[in-house]
Structure 1
């Protein structure tokens, strides 16, 4: 039967609760009708090599079967779905099927999911009172003009999505009155009061989703280096791939300029960089690009001339904006401090450090002046010219314009490049 006829067979008891999940990670096993024998494979059987040109399509559907959003041309076996693509629907279906040469599978696999609840208040007066009154919602609360009060010994209004209030009078009163929101609170004209012995208004900010995908080193003498099919992690709308690049010439060689990086043939945007200032010194740089699809990419790094080696490190992140908040560089005799890198809440700072001595460890220390703790993702990846690459990531929870990173490698020159996103 056609795929839309299956909707009535999906019982509400099988509904999957995805409230607060962002992104929604979907994965599947592919099928090949040309090789499949009888009986047909079950949904839970392993992935099969697909037909040539076969891709996967994901559709987000309303309860009546109307298609809200489609993701097409997916070549892998997983995809990150943005709950915002349900376009205000709090419940619906995720349908996963395959497509080849313009023909779709006869019956897609459907999952009924819930991403929130709707609470809408009309004009009027509303009162919630009691010894311990609690109102919790995971989606928007929309209130028309009127008078609203929450009164009690321990009054809590807890919502993980926006509160939108029209003109009117609103009060939360109690011994321990608390209003918690992890998203924006938008209020129209009116009078708003939070009173109590310990009245608190708090707003939590979720951490940015990101991952370190790995580092790779090629010691071939060349002016262009290709890193084929390197992991870029789970795909999704707005995904940014950030790549750290490092090279070091021989101790009698002139440092090379990093002239560019491509990701699957598309030029990446150059971020902060340093071209070596003395014979035998390194050159380092950050590059970044929005890459919404795929779980691996091929990177090509080009230099101004032949160099002895090339190393890259790959990060996947989901910032609100693909434009960096700030960049900074520094180099010189150890120790060196990269100063005044601006960071934001729900942000990420990425730091790369090059040092070049024969001692172990190559890098003595890397310290951050902010309240957040750096993760040392790559430790002393050493090329054939004793150039050591270290990578750090810092999930930032503060707004600050003066954050510093200090690196020390006794008896050596240190190069540092930093970039931050929100």
Structure 2
């Protein structure tokens, strides 16, 4: 019923915008898990079957997710809205399990106005210039995870979280916040285009240390600057962000053009006074396509050191690959593999869900009914190293994900 109401509201909006280019989309997804097996260090086992609603997530399974999208634009302005529905489970006072539907906090919205070469954008949205090349053949592929986001991932817990998803200019600590971005395009610079941006980012930039002062001054937004250059031979993104008075982020990401492969090399650096002395991530991406065959690779090296006396440097590494093949217009097959080590320095400070390292393998098949309508069936196997912080030794599952986006 809620979907019908949502579509009716969208239709009424479309009818009222006779002079705008309007589009409406609906994305529906069921991320089920037909079988899930867990073996713990002590030999105990857990088995789940026919899980349709996220009783125990693994292999990309999870709660059902719907998203209603609406876009409208003219030559000088535009709006965009994507409402995402989800659900949570809880137990009441009698111990009964209940479920409540809600609009998830990853809902996107934005508006923009254009004045010749100057564009003003505002809202909660993603703003990435350099591609992550995280598009995998099937749903929830291993290369389409947080490790595909430039910046820290394994070491992004706690104080270093502000370096997560670093090249997303409109993000704060990996999350969408209210932002205001002004950008201007220079149409002819060294044979290409140069885009310069300045932004205000919703965040507690400065708060008085003594609340008893008579004169209290607050700054409620951080700021950032970005320069993006693109030509036939190269694309470059450089950014600087100050999310608060103590945090600083620098990023540089380069994508050569005209090569037989798609390739990206990225560097992210950041620090925070009295918390993170220095931290950086080096990201690499490769993607090669030859007719029906696609080969893709991901590598990420991370390093971080706390701003405390005697602190050691923590290091982490993630490397993954996917090979996929389009058999015909109805069937595709893929094979993913991923290695993650959040504790290269072997001082037990890293964390991959409590384990220092793990290896993941994920073969699967995609059955396509038509454009943006498919079923992904996979088998995912995870092997964890010995760790006092985690009881799981191995787990595997058969996730089956249904998706339609129209």
TM-score of the aligned structures, taking structure 2 as reference length: 0.22
Point out the structure with max Rg over C-alpha: 1
Relative to its length, the structure with more strand (as a share) is 2
